[in-house]
């Protein structure tokens, strides 16, 4: 048996690929939020369902205090597996930057994770997941950036966007993970520049296409 360290094991799982662009700050200010009736409803994608509903369905104490006056301007996004169990709940914020729509998803707790000790769960690193949204006939496409696309731009000094390196206690990972810490304005400028670059996005049609159910 080859034994590996628990710290290595954790680091291997940390920042798993497939998440697209993760940022500490939002890509919007409340005045920039938009609503689009085409988004609301239940969608089928991959191995489950995704539902966009008005955020007024979320308990007010789950919404960050300063966003509560704007609750009519964003959505609740719930992802469920085919058996109906809830996989994730997010607040979903829709904005238009340049010619493109983007969705900023911010995680909420599920019924299961609400039972976690509050101090314990306060250690979650809550980040905004950014995806490009396209409306096509009765479908929508939610497309994230390709894995490591932004990280590679940063490492190759092809883009200047504020970020932080993440260390692990064993400090063994020479290739340190990157967390994007850019401000809302910087993020918007970045999305304006890269919004139409097809090579930047994960173009897996099966994975990204959501078909309307009702």
Partner 1 sequence: MVLLLAMVTGLFSCINSLNPLITYGNVESFDAATGLWKDGDGTYIKIERFRNSSIEREFNMQTKAGDKNAKPPSEEETKLENNVYILSFNKNNIQHYMILSFARLNDHLFAQLEPLMARDESTKMNDAVPATQKKPAPVNLWDLGKDHTYSFAKVEMNNGQLQFIPLDEDYLEGLLDKGAVAIPFEKDDWFSTTLITASPDQLEKFFFKYGSDEKVFNKKHTLVLKPAAL
In the complex, the residues that contact partner 1 under the rule CB under 8 A are 1-16, 24-26, 29-30, 64-67, 106, 112-113, 115-127, 164-172, 179, 181
Nearer to partner 1, 139 or 154 (CB): 154
Strand partners, 98: none
Tell the smallest beta-carbon distance from residue 16 to partner 1 (Å).
Answer: 8
Both tokens of 114, joined, read 């609400």
Number of neighbours of residue 15 by Cβ within 10 angstroms = 16
Nearer to partner 1, 66 or 157 (CB): 66
Q: What are phi and psi of 127, to 5 degrees?
A: -125, 160
Are 44 and 211 within 8 A, CB to CB?
yes
Tell the smallest beta-carbon distance from residue 11 to partner 1 (Å).
Answer: 7
Nearer to partner 1, 120 or 137 (CB): 120
In 3-state terms, what secondary structure has residue 26?
Answer: coil
Nearer to partner 1, 9 or 135 (CB): 9
Nearer to partner 1, 164 or 204 (CB): 164
The Cα 108–Cα 202 span in angstroms is: 25
Tell the smallest beta-carbon distance from residue 181 to partner 1 (Å).
Answer: 5
- Long-range CB pairs of 63-69, under 8 A, 24+ apart, other chains included: 63/91, 67/30, 67/91, 69/30
Nearer to partner 1, 82 or 124 (CB): 124
DSSP secondary structure code for residue 162 in this structure: -
Tell the smallest beta-carbon distance from residue 118 to partner 1 (Å).
Answer: 5
The Cα 33–Cα 21 span in angstroms is: 19
Tell the smallest beta-carbon distance from residue 31 to partner 1 (Å).
Answer: 11
Tell the smallest beta-carbon distance from residue 73 to partner 1 (Å).
Answer: 12
The Cα 133–Cα 144 span in angstroms is: 9
């Amino acid at each position: 048996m080859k034994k590996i360290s628990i710290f290595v094991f954790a680091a291997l799982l940390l920042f798993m690929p497939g998440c697209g662009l993760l940022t500490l700050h939002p890509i919007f200010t409340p005045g920039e939020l938009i609503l689009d009736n085409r988004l609301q409803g239940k969608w089928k994608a991959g191995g489950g369902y995704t539902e966009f509903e008005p955020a007024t369905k979320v308990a007010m104490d789950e919404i960050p205090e300063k966003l509560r006056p704007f609750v009519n301007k964003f959505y609740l996004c719930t992802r469920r597996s085919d058996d109906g169990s809830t996989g994730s709940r997010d607040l979903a914020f829709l904005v238009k930057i340049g010619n493109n729509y983007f969705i900023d998803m911010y995680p909420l707790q599920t019924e299961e994770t609400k039972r976690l000790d509050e101090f314990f769960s306060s250690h979650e690193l809550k980040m905004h997941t950014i995806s490009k949204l396209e409306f096509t006939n009765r479908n929508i496409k939610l497309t994230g950036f390709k894995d490591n696309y932004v990280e590679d731009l940063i490492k190759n000094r092809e883009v200047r966007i504020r970020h932080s390196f993440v260390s692990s206690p064993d400090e063994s990972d020479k290739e340190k993970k990157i967390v994007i810490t850019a401000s809302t304005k910087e993020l918007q400028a970045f999305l304006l520049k890269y919004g139409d670059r097809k090579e930047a996005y994960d173009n897996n049609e099966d994975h990204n296409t959501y078909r309307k159910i009702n």
